[in-house]
């Protein structure tokens, strides 16, 4: 995976859930939950989980499908909220995992096991080149693509991701997207080699799959990000890459200017599956 996955914050022995924690009935309570490790909490200022989830319309009792949850940053928030309020959560993992994918998948499963009391039942499905439905057709209220679209573009899976999301959603259901946003003046790259994706292209993909763009937000924008970094978006936190993929970190690399930027400039989009036409 091009994402340069960071497994920080997954030392479960250092962030075990506290006993007697009240199950979260609001998004704010889920974000403030004690089982979220300090490493993840420190990123709230860049990812704005309360504002983002409200923008996408997360509500009690919904069925939520998260594609490629990675290390589980958003799972720690969404799964407990969904379980407490009577909904369902689907974790759509990688199909045909490579070595890095297997490591990440095992870390995620460990996270789920360690938080079973709070997560409730997690429904595991998969997404990949030949995967089937990610959830029962027409069952989901909310599907989430969270900083993964660049990986699917590189693998030729972007169109399939939108189609699979569309199939899983109820009429009127929402597809929420957070993704690294390319400079609109840059030459479009269909492989997203830098990790940055043109917002216009994402809108096009959504519309071609049958979605309507309901809203775009600047919640996760970062005007400090000039989008031009030696190792793509992964030069920035939280990955902080200092050398090409496959090479050891460069101890002489100066991270300071990139740390000063913070995390990437991101688009935050809300697509809606149109209501079924009247008979």
Domain at 187, CATH number: 3.40.50.150
Mean pLDDT of the chain, nearest integer: 91
Residue ranges of E strands in the chain: 63-67, 88-94, 122-127, 140-146, 169-180, 212-217, 230-233, 266-272
Residue 106 counted as domain residue = yes
Sorting pLDDT into bands at 50, 70 and 90, what band is 231? very high
- 238 preceded by a cis bond (ω within 30 of 0): yes
Residue 159 counted as domain residue = yes
Closest CA to 107 of 75, 146, 66: 75
Please give the tally of structural domains in the chain.
1
- Do residues 153 and 191 make contact, with C-beta atoms less than 8 angstroms apart? yes
Residue 1 counted as domain residue = no
pLDDT at 17 over 60: no
**pLDDT score recorded for residue 100:** 75
Residue 252 counted as domain residue = no
Six-digit token pair at 179?
């993704």
**pLDDT score recorded for residue 22:** 62
Instruction: Give the span between the Cα atoms of 209 and 212, in whole angstroms.
Output: 9
Class of residue 183 by CB neighbours under 10 A (exposed 0-12, middle 13-18, buried 19+)? middle
Residue 15 counted as domain residue = no
Residue 214 counted as domain residue = yes
Residue 156 region, left (φ>0) first, then alpha (ψ -120 to 50), else beta? left
Q: 157-199: per-residue pLDDT in tens?
A: 999 999 999 999 999 999 999 999 999 998 989 899 999 999 9
Q: What is the DSSP letter of 16?
A: P
Residue 169 counted as domain residue = yes
Sorting pLDDT into bands at 50, 70 and 90, what band is 8? very low
Range of the domain at 183: 21-222+263-272
Residue 248 counted as domain residue = no
Q: 192-227: per-residue pLDDT in tens?
A: 999 999 999 999 999 999 999 999 999 999 999 999
Instruction: Give the span between the Cα atoms of 143 and 77, in whole angstroms.
Output: 15
């Amino acid at each position: 995976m091009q994402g340069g996955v960071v497994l920080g914050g997954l030392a479960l022995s250092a962030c075990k859930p506290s006993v007697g924690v009240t199950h979260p009935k609001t998004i704010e309570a889920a974000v403030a939950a004690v089982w979220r490790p300090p490493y993840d909490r420190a990123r709230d200022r860049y990812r704005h989980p309360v504002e983002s989830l409200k923008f996408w319309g997360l509500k009690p009792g919904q069925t939520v499908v998260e594609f490629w949850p990675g290390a589980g940053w958003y799972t720690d928030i969404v799964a407990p909220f969904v379980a407490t309020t009577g909904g369902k959560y689907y974790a759509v993992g990688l199909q045909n995992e490579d070595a890095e994918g297997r490591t990440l998948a095992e870390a995620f499963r460990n996270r789920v096991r360690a938080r079973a009391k709070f997560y409730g039942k997690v429904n595991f499905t998969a997404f990949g080149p030949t995967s089937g439905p990610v959830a029962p057709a027409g069952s989901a209220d909310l599907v989430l693509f969270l900083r993964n679209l660049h990986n699917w573009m590189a693998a030729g899976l972007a169109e399939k991701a939108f189609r699979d999301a569309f199939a899983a959603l109820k009429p009127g259901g929402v597809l929420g997207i957070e993704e690294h946003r390319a400079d609109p003046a840059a030459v479009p790259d269909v492989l997203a080699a830098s990790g940055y994706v043109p917002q216009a292209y994402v809108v096009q993909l959504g519309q071609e799959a049958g979605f309507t763009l309901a809203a775009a937000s600047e919640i996760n924008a970062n005007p400090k990000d000039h989008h031009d970094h030696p190792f793509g978006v992964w030069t920035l936190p939280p990955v902080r890459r200092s050398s090409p993929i496959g090479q050891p970190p460069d101890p002489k690399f100066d991270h300071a200017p990139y740390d000063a930027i913070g995390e990437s400039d991101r688009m935050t989009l809300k697509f809606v599956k149109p209501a079924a036409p009247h008979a």
